[in-house]
């Protein structure tokens, strides 16, 4: 038994040391990333749950294994609007670093509550990762610097623990996406096609008909079959890259960025939230000193306050008028402008991921 435990312990140590070596971050990078992530959420990915309270009760059909089964109807619109406002306040607190630990925890939990009701319409979307990531980051020490009300310094292992966990969770999440596909897509039957399934379902049910969708419909099935194979391999393999080396992991993140960017063109799916998930592994410590310098200037502080207050008021207006717009000023129903906006953000993100994978000299990667 002791030998067995020793073996398990050895495997555990080997596994996590490999993961930490590939995914580690540091306090400086984390605190810059906190501001970037907060701004991303405020400007590009602001949830709005107020509409749920407007739906008839009979649509309340929660998944069997969800918190929703403890209730028998949707809460009122007021409940969801309070939830929206609390989420917005948490976003502001994350950006400005007002008790970022509790703010990020609250942000994640409040959204999971909101989504529990949203998914009670009968469709579970798979957007949970960003909220889980925020809950992990809450314990990383990302609110200790560049912050108005800083958190207490955590122990030195905290960033490594958080990032290694996020990396493993991301690999597992992709594995769950690829597992079933492997059984149904990995064959040489060119009369069947998985990419085409996503294409036609999105086109018919969700109006995804822009950019290259029309062109992709004319492609031969064998070519789409190649995309099926690529998608399955891409989704099943991130753990191997993570365990292999830091460079391999950053290369996989870059490939992931290009994969989603391609999906945006051929399937019209923005995968917007994946941008900030992948950028968590970018080394933002390279701009820490500049950020600290700028933030300390009075003029910048006033401008930042006015900017954040203005955006907050626009978002509050959206909450009370139930305007659904992830991107500020862009209603979600306007698919093409949202695709173009997402395309611009993706291009920027891919450039950063490329830099992370290939252009950052190893010696400059992280401050000790």
Q: What distance in Å separates the CA atoms of residue 319 and residue 309, rounded to the nearest whole number? A: 15
Q: How far is the CB of 357 from other proteins (least distance, A)?
A: 22
Which residue lies nearer to other proteins by CB, 3 or 123? 123
**Which residue's CB is nearer to other proteins, number 123 or number 298?**
123
Question: How many Å apart are CA 51 and CA 43, to the nearest integer?
Answer: 20
DSSP three-state, residue 33: helix
Q: Other CB atoms closer than 10 Å to residue 116's CB: what's the count? A: 18
Per residue in 168-206, is it b (16+ CB within 10 Å) or e — as a string?
bebbebbeeebeebbeebeeeeeeebbbbebbeebbeee
Which candidate, 273, 263, 259, places its Cα nearest to that of 202? 263
In whole angstroms, how close is the CB of 180 to other proteins at the nearest point?
4
Candidates 233, 193, 241; CA nearest to 217 is: 193
CB of 23 to other proteins, least distance (A): 13
Q: What minimum distance in Å lies between the beta carbon of 235 and other proteins?
A: 8
| Closer of 47 and 97 to other proteins (Cβ) | 47
Q: Judged by CB, which is closer to other proteins: 57, or 368? A: 57
**Least CB distance from residue 5 to other proteins, whole Å?**
8
Alpha carbon dihedral 28, 279, 339, 135, in 10-degree steps, equals: -80
* CB nearer to other proteins: pick between 97 and 238: 238
**Residue of 170, 356, 348, 188 whose CA lies nearest to 275:** 348
Judged by CB, which is closer to other proteins: 131, or 284? 131
Cβ 321 to other proteins shortest distance, Å = 10
């Amino acid at each position: 038994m002791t030998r067995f435990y020793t073996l398990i312990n050895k495997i555990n140590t080997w596994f996590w040391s490999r993961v930490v070596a590939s995914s580690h971050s540091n306090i400086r990078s984390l605190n810059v990333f906190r501001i970037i992530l907060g701004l991303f959420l405020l400007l590009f990915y602001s949830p709005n749950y107020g509409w749920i309270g407007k739906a008839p009760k009979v649509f309340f059909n929660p998944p069997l294994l969800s918190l929703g089964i403890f209730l028998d109807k949707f809460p009122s619109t007021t409940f969801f609007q309070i939830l929206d406002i609390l989420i917005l306040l948490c976003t502001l607190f994350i950006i400005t670093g007002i008790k970022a630990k509790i703010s990020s925890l609250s942000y994640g939990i409040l959204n999971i509550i909101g989504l529990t009701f949203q998914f009670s319409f009968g469709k579970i979307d798979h957007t949970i990762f960003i909220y889980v990531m925020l809950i992990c980051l809450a314990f990383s020490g990302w609110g200790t610097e560049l912050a108005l009300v800083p958190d207490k310094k955590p122990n030195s292992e905290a960033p490594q623990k958080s990032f290694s966990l996020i990396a493993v969770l991301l690999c597992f999440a992709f594995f769950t996406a690829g597992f079933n596909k492997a059984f149904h897509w990995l064959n040489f039957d060119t009369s069947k096609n998985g990419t085409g399934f996503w294409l036609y379902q999105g086109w018919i049910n969700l109006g995804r008909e822009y950019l290259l969708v029309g062109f992709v419909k004319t492609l031969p099935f064998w070519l789409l079959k190649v995309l099926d194979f690529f998608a399955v391999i891409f989704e099943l393999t991130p753990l191997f890259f993570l365990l292999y080396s830091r460079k391999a992991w950053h290369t996989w993140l870059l490939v992931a960025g290009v994969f989603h960017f391609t999906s945006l063109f051929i399937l019209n799916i923005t995968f917007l939230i994946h941008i900030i998930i992948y950028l968590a592994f970018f080394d933002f410590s390279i701009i820490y000193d500049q950020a600290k310098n700028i933030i300390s200037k009075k003029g910048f502080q006033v401008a930042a306050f006015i900017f954040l207050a203005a955006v907050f008021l626009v978002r509050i207006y959206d909450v009370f008028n139930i305007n659904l717009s992830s991107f500020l000023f862009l209603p979600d129903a306007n698919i093409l402008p949202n695709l173009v906006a997402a395309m611009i953000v993706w291009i920027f993100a891919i450039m950063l991921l490329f830099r992370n994978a290939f252009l950052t000299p190893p010696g400059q990667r992280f401050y000790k």
